Chain A
Amino acid sequence: MPLKIRLKCSAVLLVSVLFFSGSFHKLNAQAEAVPADADVIAAGEKLFRQNCAACHRIQEKLIGPGLANVYDRRDIAWIQAFVKNSQKVIQSGDPYAVDMFEEYNQIVMPPVDFSDEEILSILAYIKDQTDKLPQAAVTIEEAVDTGAAAEQGLFTGYMNYILAGLIITLILMIVVLVMISSVMQKFLRTRSDLDEADREIIAQRFNLLALLQSRAFIGIVAFVFTAIAFKTVIDQLYEIGVQQGYAPEQPIAFSHKVHAGQYEIDCNYCHTGVMKSKNANIPSPNICMNCHSSITEGVNTGTKEISKIYAAIEENRPIEWVRVHNLPDFAYFNHSQHVNVGKVECATCHGPVEEMEVVRQYSLLTMGWCVDCHRTTKVNTKDNAYYDKLVEFHNSPELMTVESIGGLECAKCHY
């Protein structure tokens, strides 16, 4: 195997370098001991992605230090020992290892059972990345910048031209019309062969007062006015008892758009009751802390809102979220029945929550709205032994709606 031979060669080379140079040798020379073959680098890349990338980047600090030039900072034997069992190195009292352990909040780097060659190949990948890192970063940035600017400029430019053109055309048309009308009037006044009626038309002036007092005008205005007022009253009466659009301000400006939209966190992750109980439940801060233990700065509000979670935990005080969806006390609703058994999607009733900064009530939540859905929705009987007999008795199970199994009976929801 050529790869293995090469790895062995480099290991031998490394050992000899270490041997001859002694501990006073400049560490920079070690960079040469790191293999530079494409095969080795590729093997190292694979290992790095699977085992190291979770906590280490090439340049920036993450959970652990950035690894660029690590072969210049420590000698390779030290790196190999640390990767194989970091705790052993720390407990041996090595000052560099102890300092680093303290600096990175005493997070233990788990021991990995790598061979020396494998660690060398990872170093080869790190060296490869270190060497080409700065140029790559710059070129990517530039490309993105110019692309975005060009696209934006093109769009707004066109819109402005079109708008300006339209306005100029309209003004020109008005000017031309006024000119034509005055020229015609002048011309007709000079004519002497017109009879009395025609002369009157030419001399006519627009009389606003007469128009406003005319019976027809008042009739039309009164009718339109009454019709609009009537419709408004009816519409408003229909809104009584309906809280669609209710979007209360919450004690913490939690954004579903960021959590459910941008980060694609499933609804069920926080609303843990949705599959198991009547209520979907509002998560308690321990669930927030699964992520916010380390994410301390928000996308929209920085540390301002997230620090409220920490304050609540510190004081052992509940966060007083405002309930958005309030069903009347006389109506029973159960989430697990709909989401777990019926497999209704959350968005069917709650709408595009992943686009809402502040959650609002999306659906009507009126009885008519419930009943409509129960009339049209087919019962989900798949993989549900409870319905097996029922499906057997129904000749056409695809016609089995919620209504047909009693979903419209009063006492299903009112008792």
Chain B
Amino acid sequence: MLKNNFSFSGVILLAGFIAGGCAGAGGNDQGTEYAPNMYHSVAYEPLIQITDESAGMWVNSSENPDVGEYYSSNPNNPYGMNMREPVTNTVRRGDFIPYRIPKDSFALAERILRNPLDSTASVVNSGKELFLKFCSQCHGTDGQTPGKVGERFAGVVSYTSAAVINKGEGHLFHVITYGKGRMGPHASQLSVKERWEIVRYVQVLQQQ
């Protein structure tokens, strides 16, 4: 009876070690997957790239016997990326017309650009929300005293300084789009509409 007892717990312990060896994620280990064939996308996933062709060979269910189940990399793209850039000269549906004012033409932008959004409460509010997310770490929440990044980055202009307080809305839009001086371009992070909303809120800050 005692012997049985020991061998029983021995079996359970062994099962525990086996389970323990394969389950549980941590560090670089993703842990064990249940039904891995259903976990991994057959289609190209833009934010995943597995270039190892033998990955998942042991569960291979695809028609191609040379490539493992987990392999996910598009050989037609540079560096085997799954992500692709938009086709050149195409415009996103429903967006504004392309912005063609050259990078250093601040005066031109100031002269011809007009804000298509009125200064309504909702525009200013969403401008404020975007400002706090995208601008305040450098320009500070009031647009005058630099934020945490601004202190380290240095050279952050105060919105009320004599150099910029009288600049028009077109100038502000152009600066957000292309950057100016040490500030980088933010066009890839903010849509045209969002940039005009921020312009409205910056003007509110300048009047304070």
Please report A residues at the B interface, Cβ cutoff 8 Å. Answer: 49-51, 53-55, 62-63, 107-108, 110-114, 218, 222, 225-226, 229-230, 232-233, 236-237, 239-249, 262-266, 268-269, 272, 279, 281-282, 284, 286-287, 289-291, 293-295, 317-318, 320, 323, 326, 328-330, 361
Contacts and interface: CB of A to CB of B under 8 A. Distances in A.
A61 to B, nearest CB: 10
Interface string B32-65: 1111001111100011110000000000000000
B153 A295 contact: yes
A55 B24 contact: no
Contacts of B155: 54-55, 62-63, 294
Interface extent on B, as a size class? 35 or more
Contact of A294 (B6, B144, B182): B182
A228 to B, nearest CB: 9
A350 B34 CA distance: 23
Nearest to B17: A232
Contacts of A361: 25
A299 B198 CA distance: 31
B24 A239 contact: yes
Given A246-B26, A266-B133, A293 B182 contact: yes
B149 interface: yes
B46 A279 contact: yes
B34 A55 contact: no
Contacts of A237: 19, 23
Contact of B79 (A264, A279, A317): A317
B29 interface: yes
14 contacts: A49-B158, A50-B162, A63-B155, A63-B182, A107-B181, A218-B2, A226-B5, A229-B9, A268-B134, A286-B185, A290-B184, A290-B185, A294-B153, A329-B42
Nearest to B161: A51
The 5 lowest CB-CB distance pairs between A and B, nearest first, are A290-B184, A236-B19, A241-B34, A63-B155, A246-B25
A294 B161 CA distance: 22
B208 interface: no
B38 A328 contact: yes
Contact of B6 (A110, A222, A318): A222
A382 to B, nearest CB: 13
B205 interface: no
A57 B70 CA distance: 56
B207 interface: no
A329 B184 contact: no
Contacts of A63: 154-155, 182
A240 B29 CA distance: 12
Nearest to B15: A233
A129 to B, nearest CB: 18
Contacts of B144: 50
B147 A264 contact: yes
A266 B134 contact: yes
Contacts of A269: 133-134, 137, 189
A237 B9 CA distance: 18
A104 to B, nearest CB: 11
B32 A233 contact: no
Nearest to A111: B163
Contacts of A55: 154-155
A266 B132 contact: yes
Nearest to B163: A110
Contacts of A112: 161-163
B199 interface: no
B25 A242 contact: yes
Given A55-B154, A264-B147, A330-B38, A226 B16 contact: no
Interface string B174-201: 0000010111111011000000000000
Contacts of A279: 46-47
Contact of B33 (A62, A240, A266, A286): A240
A236 B16 contact: yes
Contact of A263 (B132, B148, B183): B148
B204 to A, nearest CB: 18
Nearest to B13: A229
Contacts of B41: 329
Given A54-B155, A63-B154, A290-B185, 20 more contacts: A51-B163, A107-B181, A112-B161, A112-B163, A222-B2, A222-B5, A239-B24, A241-B34, A241-B39, A246-B30, A262-B148, A263-B137, A264-B148, A269-B134, A290-B179, A290-B184, A329-B38, A329-B40, A329-B41, A330-B39
Nearest to A286: B188
Nearest to A322: B28
